[in-house]
Amino acid sequence: MARTNSPTAAEKTPKAAMPDMQKRPDHRRIPISKVGVKDISYPIEVMDKNHSLQHTVARINMYVDLPHHFKGTHMSRFVEILNRHRKHIALDKLEIILEEMKAKLGSASAHLEIQFPYFIDKKAPVSGAISLMEYNCEFSASMTDKLDFVLGIKVPLTSLCPCSKELSSFGAHNQRSVMTVQVRYDDFIWIEDLVELVEQCGSSPLYSLLKREDEKYVTEQAYENPRFVEDMVREAYSRLSALDNITWFSVEAENFESIHNHSAYAAVELDRRG
């Protein structure tokens, strides 16, 4: 028998008649600070200092608070809100998205975490060869009464051990390092400028493309500029604290040691918000 196109029983049921389980009361009276969706892969736009805008793909987390008297939140509404702003997922639109999350989900606070790769044209120090260097970045934004925004970056570096250089008859061990910097600011700061500041805190920057003359240069640069992990975070502290528009920052450095079976780690923080 041929199937007819008549509506099913579920299709006949009015939307208003469907039970809303999330809005049913919960008698445990325990509020939840963050509830939502994680790890949504989504295209976004990021302001690019040299090219106006950069298109990239982010991993997005979205949360709101849940009052104690509701059983659950409406998870589909997070994705609906994201889809409504699909052409404008950018820094200057985060406040609008957060306000809509609060309104649509009946919450007092909303949170967005947007992690994305960001690419910068980087010129080799001697040959001038240009290649794209990738940096992992994060926008972390929260809204209660006002917007709280944190910019985060991870910058790979080379560090050369001062102790090894001092003790050895020739050479010194070095390793790849990562510095993680988060900042709050009053006036806009470019990702490119923050990356450049952080790259000055290690023994040498990293590059995607190096010719032989460049390899010689960065090897000698690191040797002449040895840094402990402690030196790296102190140098970043000095440089960031000299910028009046930064109201808070945290810095972490991790050296993936080449002669030890562990990493070396250091962290500093400064809060000027009063």
pLDDT at residue 261 in the model: 92
* Alpha-carbon 243 to chain mean position: 21
Homologous superfamily of the 154-274 domain (CATH): Urate Oxidase; (3.10.270.10)
Residues carrying CATH 3.10.270.10, the chain: 27-123, 154-274
The list of the chain residues with pLDDT below 50 reads: 1
Spatial neighbors of 91 by CB under 8 A, at least 6 apart, are 46, 47, 139
**pTM confidence score:** 0.87
Q: In this predicted model, what pLDDT tens digit does every residue of 225-259 receive, in sequence order?
A: 999 999 999 999 999 999 999 999 999 999 999 99
CB 139 within 8 A of CB 94: yes
In this prediction, residue 1 carries a pLDDT of 47
Q: Does domain 27-123 have CATH number 3.10.270.10?
A: yes
User: What is the DSSP pairing of strand 263-271 with strand 174-185?
Assistant: unpaired
**What's the pLDDT at 162?**
95
pLDDT tens readout for residues 26-71: 677 888 999 999 999 999 999 999 999 999 999 999 999 988 777 7
